[in-house]
Amino acid sequence: MFNTYVVTFIFMRTGVPLWMAILGGVLSAIGFGLLIDLLVIRHTKKVSPVAKQIITLGLIMVVLGVTPLFFGVDPLNLPRLIQSGNMTIFGANISYNGLFNIIFGLVVMLILFFVLQKTKVGLAVRTTASNEYTARLMGVPTKTVTMGAWAVAGVLGVLAGVMIAPTTTVTLNLMDVVQINALIACVLGGFQTFYGPVLGAYIIGVSRNLLLVYYSSEWGGQVLYILILLLLVVRPYGLIGKKVVKKV
């Protein structure tokens, strides 16, 4: 959210083309992620997972409070990357921009999958995630991996923000809906695989709109929640998740 503001700021104040402003935002996001890792995450090795969640909550509060100091409280507007033009697929209207978003999203996913699964860097990330101590013993530079992970997270965040922003305005609450739905997508798709949450995200996005339009514009969102709840009862580890059995 913060970095989406950065992008908008750069775009509006300096008049450079949008893609360059986005690049600026990406750089800022990298710096931001690194900063968070260095200042906060490094010092929180000993805390429980729940406590870590609370720390991220605290971070959100800090950023939420600080952003208006930099960018003011009025909502800003960020235009789409592809300004106008629609096309028709299977009888449905879709803007070029929307199409671009979908394709771009898929491309980013594929790149991530490839890096994580097929490259040495990806292996380093996965080992660190699995067991940091052992990874370090095996010579994996875990500190760098963690820094890199936060930087990448920041970049993905700003990209998501830039894609969402044109549909509403750039405000403090820009990413609220995205965050919750992202979490739910992970739960839906299961944490065990990489493609699970992606699948979950697409399912949620599509179902939500379908329900809102065809079923009820008020209850659509909650019906989705209920459906997910029922799904969890049937498949407690998400659509694709697998249970990790503890050896007794």
Partner 1 sequence: MSHKEKKTSEKNFRTYIRNPYLQFIAFGLILLIVPTLASNFRFFKVGYITTIGVSLIYAIAALGLNVLLGWSGLISLGTAGFMGLASYLSAYITINMGLPFEVAMFAAVLIPTIIGILVGLISLKIEGLYLAIATLAVSEVLRKSFEEFEWLTNGFSGKAASYPTLFGFIQLDRASMYYFIVFVLIIVMLITYNIVNGQIGRALNAMRGSEAAAQAMGVNLLRYRLIAFAMATIFAAVSGVLYVHFIRYSYPSSWSLKLSLDFLAMIVIGGLRSIYGTVLGAFIVFAVPDMFLKQIPYFNQISYSLNGLLIILVIMFYPNGLVYIFKDIRNVWRKVIGKGKVKHVVRK
Q: Which residues bind partner 1 (CB under 8 A)?
A: 40, 43-44, 46-48, 50-51, 53-55, 57-66, 68-69, 180, 183-184, 186-187, 191, 218-219, 221-222, 225-226, 228-229, 232-233, 236-238, 246, 248
Give least dist CB 203 to partner 1, A.
14
Give least dist CB 244 to partner 1, A.
11
Give least dist CB 46 to partner 1, A.
6
Angle at 155 between CA 98 and CA 106, to 5 degrees: 40
User: Which residue, 169 or 179, has its beta carbon nearer to partner 1?
Assistant: 179
Give least dist CB 9 to partner 1, A.
19
User: Which residue, 65 or 79, has its beta carbon nearer to partner 1?
Assistant: 65
User: Which residue, 57 or 210, has its beta carbon nearer to partner 1?
Assistant: 57
User: Which residue, 89 or 245, has its beta carbon nearer to partner 1?
Assistant: 245
